[in-house]
Amino acid sequence: MSKNYAVILAGGRGERFWPQSRAARPKHLLPIVGDRPMVAQTVTRLAGLAPPEQIFILTNTEHVAAIRAACPEVPSGQIIGEPVGRDTAPAAALAAMLVRRRDPEGVVALLAADAAIHDDAGFRATLSSAFAAAAKQDYIFTIGIPPAFAATAYGYLCRGKKLGESEGRPWFKVDKFVEKPDHSTAERYLKEGGYLWNACMFVVRANVLESAFNQYAPDIARGMKELDGRLNQGVPQAEALAAVYPGLTKISLDYAVMEKSANVAVFEAAFDWDDVGEWPALVRHAQADAAGNVVKGDSALHEARGNIVVGEPGHLVALLGVDDLVVVQTPDATLVCPKSRAQELKKLLQVVAAKKNSTHWL
Amino acid sequence: MSKNYAVILAGGRGERFWPQSRAARPKHLLPIVGDRPMVAQTVTRLAGLAPPEQIFILTNTEHVAAIRAACPEVPSGQIIGEPVGRDTAPAAALAAMLVRRRDPEGVVALLAADAAIHDDAGFRATLSSAFAAAAKQDYIFTIGIPPAFAATAYGYLCRGKKLGESEGRPWFKVDKFVEKPDHSTAERYLKEGGYLWNACMFVVRANVLESAFNQYAPDIARGMKELDGRLNQGVPQAEALAAVYPGLTKISLDYAVMEKSANVAVFEAAFDWDDVGEWPALVRHAQADAAGNVVKGDSALHEARGNIVVGEPGHLVALLGVDDLVVVQTPDATLVCPKSRAQELKKLLQVVAAKKNSTHWL
């Protein structure tokens, strides 16, 4: 029987949850949802599916040490720094190669490091079905999330006809991938049914994924063969990556492979999922008070409604007469913005970056 | 020639400038306007009028040490703690007694510790005229502030006929004291002219003020005689105060004496004055940026207008898309409220006080 592997993609630049997240401390290293770094929660969630020695984590070289500290159960040699970011397609190709080198019949789950998932049992049940199917079928399985609302921040995929069952769970053809829709289109998707959120979560035999790269992204496949060859010659992994990785095309896995591939299938997730893209998303993961405020830390609120308040323990964040704000306090920086403008944080960070000696704030 | 004394009244509970001000660190101990504690600026402003050895500071017992540290040039025995707060009338009576015991013909200026005055030369010129007049005339001189706008936060006094001149500066009868007006009344005062802000700033011979207490506030005068007697018997000052002060009526000097007294005269201030009663008043004392933001400390602002931002040096306060807020950051507490609601800070502090183990935040 083939073994299950997981490759966790831990990219992220630490912008969307500033000032808690920083360049040196992106979201997956923080307990944005839950009380442990999100990457550590992602590792724990795999218990029973893939043991730590079958888990790889791909990240930026500057985050390797922090992830090793956050995930001590994962063998440190399997926490690998990409010398430069090249988006998800090269990372997935590297994942396929790493697993195939270890186990020619290995099945790999590609997972984001920083998604919020509360129903770990549902996650394991769904993934177990997908692992079992991928071991036998030459398909790339994705896990589609039944949409909880008309999200415009996610891409969707359109579920086609049922192709089979695995451990009692049906799987379907993916008819197409669709880009992030506008609000009315998202509402139509919800009404029509058959549309699922694309969570960029895939389960596939490593050799099947390598074949897909050979067919649809031959330049990346060539880079991987080059890398494979250097590793076979005994070149240290970091050195081989430094030589090859920068030359790879920067492109997402969806664009490079998934949208072109004929053999993509989908399981519907039997669990909740949220990529928690910005501060206001916390509302979906925390108990609000009677006035709709979500508070982490110590606060004093008077006639304040619908705010998101995050502070260090022991620091009192006090709001008087303000509504629908995000207020985040850290030891060296504090953010105040309306919830409705949290997605503009990057513009604010450009203002910070333009300040003298501001890198320690970024 | 009689000597000039000053008695600085440094009360204050540290509420209006929370979280910078605290019970243990009220406004006069902070550089709310300027870059030194406001009480220290008040002492410095007296240079040339009254030397430090002729300055007394009355405060709460718990602030004596901090004021001694802030005003090292004032003899420490002249920084005196009231065992309990009894408002300004008992404090003024104590001031008169302290000065008269030192110098039976002494003239005393009663000054608030925490007013913002930028024109120190104008202050000294006006006060010099008042000191000279008070040395010769049995009047209580007050310094009236020509109103800069239709303030509703100050009481007013109505200037009557000219009674004399001192050092070329006219002084006038005070026809009446009027309470804080509503906005339309304040506008009428401004339009009619002859109304001045009551800054609670008085210059008077100590023996004249004692006589006024004998006549208009005999119970307080009796308490002072009791205190005087104990001091004459060699009872230490703190012990004598502890025995007598708590028994005094709690009442303001205006109510107890000024509004009843026939011999109150006024000089018009030839200087600016502002009691800086709440955070939004900072706008009157700082250069705003092009978008009307007043900032103390490090900040990053994107599409933010009309805000007041105060933070510790090195801490970045970042605002995105918010207008007309007060944001004040300190190491252990942060405030966010609209400028228009800053006067409700006491209600917020009641919420803080109701929290468990909250005294260190107050």
Q: Chain A residue with minimal CA distance to B297?
A: A333
CB A306 within 8 A of CB A339: yes
Quick check: B332 contacting A, CB < 8 Å?
yes
SS3 A334: strand
Print the SS3 string covering chain B: CCCEEEEEEECCCCCCCCCCCECCECHHHCCCCCCCCHHHHHHHHCCCCCCHHHEEEEEEHHHHHHHHHHCCCCCHHHEEEECCCCCHHHHHHHHHHHHHHHCCCCEEEEEECCCECCCHHHHHHHHHHHHHHHHHCCCEEEEEECCCCCCCCCCEEEEEEEEEEECCEEEEEEEEEECCCCHHHHHHHHHHCCEEEEEEEEEEEHHHHHHHHHHHCHHHHHHHHHHHHHHHCCCCHHHHHHHHHHHCCCCCHHHHHHCCCCCEEEEECCCCCECCCCHHHHHHHCCCCCCCCEEECEEEEECCECCEEECCCCCEEEEECCECEEEEECCCEEEEEEHHHHHHHHHHHHHHHCCCCCHHHC
Quick check: A334 contacting B, CB < 8 Å?
yes
Q: What is the pLDDT of residue A317?
A: 98
Alpha-carbon A102 to chain mean position: 24
Q: Residue B1 — pLDDT band, cuts 50, 70, 90?
A: low
Q: What is the dihedral of CA A28, A34, A36, A40, to 10 degrees?
A: -60
Exposed e or buried b per residue across B321-345, where buried means at least 16 C-beta atoms within 10 angstroms of its C-beta: bbeebbbbbbeebbbbbbbebbebb
Distance from CA of B354 to the nearest CA of A (A): 9
CB A309 within 8 A of CB A327: yes
Distance (Å, rounded) from C-alpha B206 to C-alpha B7?
A: 11
Q: Which long-range CB contacts under 8 A does A216-221 form with residues at least 24 apart?
A: A216/A256, A216/A257, A216/A260, A216/A261, A217/A89, A217/A93, A217/A249, A217/A251, A217/A256, A217/A257, A219/A248, A219/A249, A220/A89, A220/A90, A220/A93, A220/A248, A220/A249, A220/A251, A220/A256, A221/A93
Q: What is the residue whose two structure tokens read 């995929």?
A: A157
What phi, psi does B57 have (nearest 5°)? -130, 120
> In this structure, what token pair is assigned to residue A174?
């993916």
- What's the average model confidence in pLDDT over A45-70? 96
Q: What is the CA radius of gyration of chain B?
A: 21
Residue A222, number of CB atoms within 10 A of its CB:
15
Report the DSSP beta bridge partners of residue A196: A157
Query: Which residue in A278, A305, A320, A360 has the most chain B C-beta atoms within 10 A of its own C-beta, making it the best mutation to test that interface?
Result: A320
Furthest C-alpha separation in chain A? 68
Quick check: A332 contacting B, CB < 8 Å?
yes
Task: Please give the single-letter amino acid code of residue A115.
Answer: A
A146-175 pLDDT per residue, tens: 999 999 999 999 999 999 999 999 999 999
Quick check: A318 contacting B, CB < 8 Å?
yes
Q: Does A12 have pLDDT greater than 90?
A: no
> In this structure, what token pair is assigned to residue B327?
């944001």
CB B7 within 8 A of CB B88: no
- What's the average model confidence in pLDDT over A277-299? 95
CB B293 within 8 A of CB B309: yes
- CA neighbor of B79 nearest in space, from B87, B69, B88: B69
Strands A308-310 and A294-296: what pairing? Answer: parallel
- CA neighbor of B47 nearest in space, from B116, B124, B148: B124
What phi, psi does B185 have (nearest 5°)? -65, -40
Q: Does B236 have pLDDT greater than 80?
A: yes
Judge: B361–A320 Cβ closer than 8 Å, yes or no.
no
Distance (Å, rounded) from C-alpha A266 to C-alpha A159?
A: 7
Q: What is the pLDDT of residue B11?
A: 87
Report the DSSP beta bridge partners of residue B35: none
- A318 to chain B: which residues are within 8 Å by CB? 19, 333-336, 348, 351-352
CB B308 within 8 A of CB B322: no
- What's the average model confidence in pLDDT over A284-300? 96
Q: Chain B residue with minimal CA distance to A357?
A: B314
Report the DSSP beta bridge partners of residue B193: none
Quick check: A309 contacting B, CB < 8 Å?
no
Rounded (10°) angle between helices A218-232 and A237-244? 150
Contacts of A340 (CB under 8 A, 6+ apart): A324
Query: Which residue in B301, B316, B322, B341 has the most chain A C-beta atoms within 10 A of its own C-beta, making it the best mutation to test that interface?
Result: B316
Distance from CA of B318 to the nearest CA of A (A): 5
B107-143 pLDDT per residue, tens: 999 999 999 999 999 999 999 999 999 999 999 999 9
What phi, psi does A319 have (nearest 5°)? -115, 135
Share of chain A above pLDDT 90, in %: 97
Identify the H or E element spanning A107.
strand A107-112
- What's the average model confidence in pLDDT over B152-175? 96
Alpha-carbon A94 to chain mean position: 16
Judge: B321–A300 Cβ closer than 8 Å, yes or no.
no
B195-229 pLDDT per residue, tens: 999 999 999 999 999 999 999 999 999 999 999 99
- What's the average model confidence in pLDDT over A35-51? 97
Q: What is the pLDDT of residue A1?
A: 62
> In this structure, what token pair is assigned to residue A181?
């829709």
> In this structure, what token pair is assigned to residue B213?
């207490």
SS3 A80: strand
Give this complex's ipTM: 0.91
For chain A, what is the mean pLDDT? 96
Q: What is the pLDDT of residue B152?
A: 92
Q: How is A10-74 classified by DSSP, letter by letter?
A: E---S-TTTTTSBTTB-GGGS-SSSSS-HHHHHHHHTTTTS-GGGEEEEEEGGGHHHHHHH-TTS
Q: Does B104 have pLDDT greater than 90?
A: yes
Strands B325-329 and B308-310: what pairing? Answer: parallel
CB B147 within 8 A of CB B190: yes
Distance (Å, rounded) from C-alpha B174 to C-alpha B157?
A: 7
Identify the H or E element spanning A141.
strand A140-145
- What's the average model confidence in pLDDT over A224-228? 97
Query: Which residue in A309, A351, A358 has the most chain B C-beta atoms within 10 A of its own C-beta, making it the best mutation to test that interface?
Result: A351
Q: Does B21 have pLDDT greater than 80?
A: yes
Judge: B317–A336 Cβ closer than 8 Å, yes or no.
yes
Q: Does A265 have pLDDT greater than 90?
A: yes
B287-334 pLDDT per residue, tens: 999 999 999 999 999 999 999 999 999 999 999 999 999 999 999 999
Q: Residue A13 — pLDDT band, cuts 50, 70, 90?
A: confident
Quick check: B361 contacting A, CB < 8 Å?
yes
Distance from CA of A320 to the nearest CA of B (A): 5
Q: What is the dihedral of CA A355, A359, A360, A362, to 10 degrees?
A: 90
Distance (Å, rounded) from C-alpha B123 to C-alpha B112?
A: 13
Distance (Å, rounded) from C-alpha A194 to C-alpha A146?
A: 9
- pTM for the full predicted model: 0.91
Q: Residue B14 — pLDDT band, cuts 50, 70, 90?
A: confident
Distance (Å, rounded) from C-alpha A336 to C-alpha B303?
A: 12
Judge: A315–B334 Cβ closer than 8 Å, yes or no.
yes
